[in-house]
Structure 1
Amino acid sequence: MLHDATPCDPPAEDRLILLGTKGGPRPSLLRSNPANLILSEGSAYLVDCGYGTTRQLLLAGVQPHELDAIFITHHHSDHTLELGPLLYQAWVGGLRRPIDVFGPPPLATLINGFFASLWFEIATRMEDEGRSDPRQLVRIHEIDAASVVLETANIRVTAGQVHHPPLRHAFAYRLDTHHRSLILSGDTAMCPGLVALARRADVLVHEVMRVESLPKLVAGLPNALALYAHLLASHTTTEQVGAVAARAEVGTLVLNHFVPGDDPAITEEMWLAAPRRVFEGTVIAGRDLLAV
């Protein structure tokens, strides 16, 4: 069941649905891992494909084979772990036309490697059930620089470089439809490139990290110091995300990819307080299956 966000009623034909809102690869019962669905003009687009995406997609009322395109922001596993399985499910579910997949290198290596790992299963079904070769139904587009990556009569998708060390290639996506402009930040520290990409967009969906909760998140881990340093260098804090929205002059800020995303002690108001101090527009705390 979808939960509508009353502060920002979308046109029925143009919906953004947050399928998974937890940052990081660890699974949780509180939030699913990162994935976002955009429905516009009869087409369906997916941004990122973390663990649990297929189930969340079904809960949103969309079958895998109904997707028109998939956009991957970067190659951390919480954004890509279910990409191969989702493409497989699209194939066995009756995919009849090619699906386009966009993302930074080594996107082709990852997808082809998945199909290679499952080739016995695939070959068996092709011979026994008369199925087509799934590799012919996936069009892979590797992105290595900021650019317009997809443009049709109904949508324009622009990839913008963001700052997510140590990865060289990490992108945010701007989707301009006839109805609204939507920005999906992916994972990023605060950076001018994202502000420029998001300029005067209707909706900015941006990752967020609560610094005060990081010690509890990394406590007891053997790599605690290194992980803590990575988080501080690679993500945007609750204080910074409001500044990004304000500088970009967006209409609505939707918090997403919560770090930590599995701590029930952090209330919605705790996530919203800092962004609201510096951004005068609407701020929404995302949750799984929220439609904006």
Structure 2
Amino acid sequence: MPARELVVLGTSSAVPTRTRNHSGHLLRWDGAGLLVDPGEGTQRQMLLAGVSASDVDVVALTHEHGDHVLGLPGVLQRRAMDGLTTPVPLVFPVAAAPLVGHLLGAAAHAGSLALPCPVEDDGLVRRPDGTPLVVGGAVLHAVALDHRVPACAYRLVEPDGRRMLPAQLAARGISGPEVGVLQREGRLRTASGVVALEEVSEHRPGQVVAVVEDTRWCEGALRAAAGADLLVCEATFADAEEELAEPYGHLTARQAGRVARQAGARRLVLTHFSSRYPDVAPLLAQAREEHDDVVAAVDLERVAVPPRR
């Protein structure tokens, strides 16, 4: 199976540092790529991370603040320079439409290489023709957050499936192409009778990845993170600056850990660190007091989606 992993392109918040670029995360999912929040400098970060413009199949903006969107024209123009002509779906809160229009007009060819998919409500993200937006077989959902401007989180949800049981298949003499027929049709006639798919398989829950960027503590963050195998979550402030989190519309690292724990997420990736923290080890420690499996994202590194349960 192709890799399911997070490629970290930027982990800073409003002000970049020498080691942390503005926001940017590429989720690789079964051969497809979802780029969330291409902040300023994303095109160069992609080059350094070994990510080509053709690896981006969908772009999603969580909100309109510059540290999350100013790299969009460059990413789209790079697609044009690489000879890519298919417009990439561009997802964003509908309230950000005026700014998105300006961004698409900021670079030659950018507007013609984006397929706007504005998000108006919680739920499925849809293409302009009304069909669900799918990334590598998984369906993209949006969840409203509580920030200083309209913002949303994104959930990539793999449909549930069936896991075939080799011992049960062998006991019924089913092998080779017959397995595929059984998976497609749900039933297979054999020499000993009809075998139903349920008899030789078990339920396999789909995997979920959630990206929760700028937000205060809110129910939307919990709903977005619910049951996620991988949760990418902002952790702008440490405990000592908790009084700044609420008015600025952000989470502390401890709150990010609490979101992961209460939502039942498996692996938490902290990101969007304030430039006031040259060392994010204390933020990582605070999040780990709330949740066991926590990673502090580092620019240009990769984080695997945990294997199926």
State the TM-score, normalized to the length of structure 2. Answer: 0.74
Alignment of 1:79-228 (within 5 A): 79-118=68-107, 122=108, 135-149=111-125, 150-151=133-134, 154-165=137-148, 167=149, 169-177=150-158, 180-211=207-238, 214=241
Unaligned residue ranges in structure 2 (runs of 5+): 126-132, 160-205, 304-309
Counterpart among 257, 262, 280 of residue 242 in structure 1: 257
Higher relative contact order (CA 8 A, sep 6+): 1
Q: Alignment partner of 2:265: what SS?
A: coil
Amino acid at match of 1:171: C
Does the CA-based 8 Å contact 2:245-2:252 persist in structure 1? no
Q: CA 1:134–1:191 in structure 2 vs 1: closer, same or farther (change >3 Å)? A: closer
- CA shift, 1:79, in A, is 0.2
- CA shift, 1:288, in A, is 0.7
Q: CA 1:73–1:288 in structure 2 vs 1: closer, same or farther (change >3 Å)? A: same
Distance of 1:276 and 1:230 partners within structure 2 = 19
Distance of 2:266 and 2:106 partners within structure 1 = 45
- CA shift, 1:21, in A, is 0.5
- CA shift, 1:177, in A, is 3.6
Does the CA-based 8 Å contact 2:16-2:275 persist in structure 1? no
Distance of 2:82 and 2:271 partners within structure 1 = 30
In the alignment, does 2:53 pair up with 1:64? yes
- CA shift, 1:77, in A, is 0.4
Unaligned residue ranges in structure 1 (runs of 5+): 1-10, 123-132, 216-227
How many percent of aligned residue pairs carry the same amino acid? 31
Q: CA 1:230–1:285 in structure 2 vs 1: closer, same or farther (change >3 Å)? A: closer
Q: Alignment partner of 2:272: what SS?
A: strand
Q: Which moved more, 1:28-37 or 1:84-93?
A: 84-93
Distance of 1:91 and 1:248 partners within structure 2 = 40
Does the CA-based 8 Å contact 2:2-2:31 persist in structure 1? no
Distance of 1:287 and 1:152 partners within structure 2 = 24
Distance of 2:60 and 2:104 partners within structure 1 = 19
Match for residue 261 of structure 1? 275
Give CA-to-partner distance per residue, 1:178-199, whole Å, 9 cap, x none.
7731110011111112112211
Q: Alignment partner of 2:63: what SS?
A: coil
Q: Count residues with an aligned counterpart.
A: 250
Distance of 1:115 and 1:198 partners within structure 2 = 30
Q: CA 1:76–1:153 in structure 2 vs 1: closer, same or farther (change >3 Å)? A: closer
Counterpart among 276, 287, 290 of residue 288 in structure 2: 276
Counterpart among 17, 21, 31 of residue 7 in structure 2: 17
Q: CA 1:272–1:109 in structure 2 vs 1: closer, same or farther (change >3 Å)? A: same
Distance of 1:42 and 1:12 partners within structure 2 = 6
How large is the Cα RMSD of the aligned pairs?
A: 2.4
Q: CA 1:56–1:177 in structure 2 vs 1: closer, same or farther (change >3 Å)? A: farther
Q: CA 1:250–1:114 in structure 2 vs 1: closer, same or farther (change >3 Å)? A: closer
Q: Greater CA radius of gyration, 1 or 2?
A: 2
Distance of 1:114 and 1:233 partners within structure 2 = 24
Q: CA 1:163–1:94 in structure 2 vs 1: closer, same or farther (change >3 Å)? A: same
